[in-house]
Amino acid sequence: MRTSVKTVVALPALAAVMLTASACGGASAHSEEPAEAAAYSYLEAISEIAGAHGGNRAVGSSGGRATRDYIVEELTQMGYQPRTQSVTSTDGDVGANILADTGGSGRTVILGAHYDSVKQGPGINDNGSGVATLLAIGERLRTTRPDLNVRLAFWDSEEYGIAGSQTYVKSMSPAEMKSVVAYINADMTGTREPTAIVYDADGSSAKRLAEDSKDDPEMARALEALMPPKDVASEKLEATLRDCLGRENIPVDDDLSLNGSSDTAPFVGRVPVGGAVLTHEVTLPNNVLQFAPGYHSPNDTIDTVDADVLERTTDAMWCSVRAVSAGALS
């Protein structure tokens, strides 16, 4: 497949090299499970919170605090005992992570999503959607308990230095680190007409890109930074995520390499890592490329979200958690 370099985005702590290829075909299998829970109803609540706080849920803001209170309240009602961990953003704003466990000792799979928005908008798809996905899964976990502990992690300040997940990883003891079977990240799970980017554990897309840009030393250096450390469990997790997304007819981009982005980054090289970010690239009139309509702007409202995609991606994440707990990575 011929690929061409579209753009290189390099923000502090965010680096993604994007390649375009011909449109991916969706997988053909249909999900056999009925969509039971409504992730969308959680998202509606988050959208209302944003509306009540000036269209903003950034770390340290009243909308950010109201989102945190909402998540804690929902988890408590479901029977969890959520705990918080203080986080300071790169701008000096103070927020908190929220962590909740299904219980049991020993092996843990962490399912994470950032709940903060950028200061420029309400962050409903990025990443109220991921929060809605986690809450819906939290609900399913009440009746279907996997064989290991599932830790739901709601990160603050992803948008400002990936500070929440970074703080958490730094706080982990070696024993805790060893008990983590996988970290799975959910970001932008409600994108319309999506193409999912999964964490590229084997570096295949970066390698392909390197082939195509042999005579570009700057690109070669950028690609070097995108090569993930060799980790077989992460490779199996990538395959699991691809399989679960495929079952839900969410197409996965094969030609996009992603490393160091979002809340997967602090976990890389420490525990098996995987995750999905759903994109729908749009080029604005000023030639700036957006990952999805409304991305990081006041227009990242509930109108940008496809409720059906949100439920299907939630199902895919649930599928992944269950596969991991059933031993898919061992």
Q: Which does 279 bind (CB under 5 to 8 A by kind): Zn ion, ligand PHE, none?
A: ligand PHE
Stretch of 40-48, 258-266, 297-305, 308-316 lying at the interface with ligand PHE (CB under 6 A)? 258-266
DSSP track, 219-285: HHHHHHHHPPPP-HHHHHHHHHHHHHHHHTT--B-SSEEE-S-GGGGGGTTTS-EEEEEEE--EE-T
Angle at 130 between CA 101 and CA 244, to 5 degrees: 85
In order of 130, 308, 314, the CA distances from 35 in angstroms are 16, 9, 9
Give the C-alpha separation, 233 to 250, whole Å.
23
Query: Which of ligand PHE, Zn ion, none sits in contact with 258, Cβ below 5 to 8 A by type?
Result: ligand PHE
CA angle 55, 58, 61 (to 5 degrees): 85
Q: Is 126 in the site for Zn ion (CB under 5 A)?
A: yes
Q: Token digits for 320?
A: 């992944």
Is 154 a residue that touches ligand PHE (CB under 6 A)? Answer: no
Instruction: Report the relative pairing of strands 14-20 and 256-258 from DSSP bridges.
Output: antiparallel
Q: Which of 93, 139, 156, 158 binds ligand PHE (CB under 6 A)?
A: 158
* Among residues 187, 235, 263, 315, the one that binds Zn ion under rule CB under 5 A: 187
Residue selected from 80, 155, 199, 291 as contacting ligand PHE according to rule CB under 6 A: 291
Other beta carbons less than 10 A from residue 77's beta carbon: 9
Taking the complex as a whole, the smallest distance from the CB of residue 291 to Zn ion amounts, in Å, to 8
Q: How many CA atoms lie within 13 A of 116 on its CB side?
A: 31
Size of the site for ligand PHE (CB under 6 A): 13
Binding mask 161-200 for ligand PHE (x = CB under 6 A): --------------------------xx--------x---
268 contact, one of Zn ion, ligand PHE, none, CB 5-8 Å limit per kind: none
Regarding 206 and contact with ligand PHE (CB under 6 A), the answer is no
Q: How far is CA 4 from CA 200, 263, 286, in A?
A: 18, 27, 21
User: Is 277 one of the binding residues for ligand PHE (CB under 6 A)?
Assistant: yes
Kindly state the smallest distance separating residue 16's Cβ from Zn ion, in Å: 12
Q: Are the CB atoms for 75 and 47 separated by under 8 Å?
A: no
Q: Which is nearer to ligand PHE, 3 or 261 (CB)?
A: 261
| Binding window for Zn ion (CB under 5 A); candidates: 33-41, 81-89, 184-192, 198-206 | 184-192
| Least distance to Zn ion, CB of residue 175, Å | 30
Q: What is the full DSSP assignment across 281-319?
A: -EE-TTS-EESSTTTTSTT-SGGGB-HHHHHHHHHHHHH
- Binding-site string for ligand PHE from residue 102 to residue 141, where x marks contact by CB under 6 A and - marks none: ------------------------x---------------
Binding site for Zn ion (CB under 5 A): 126-127, 187
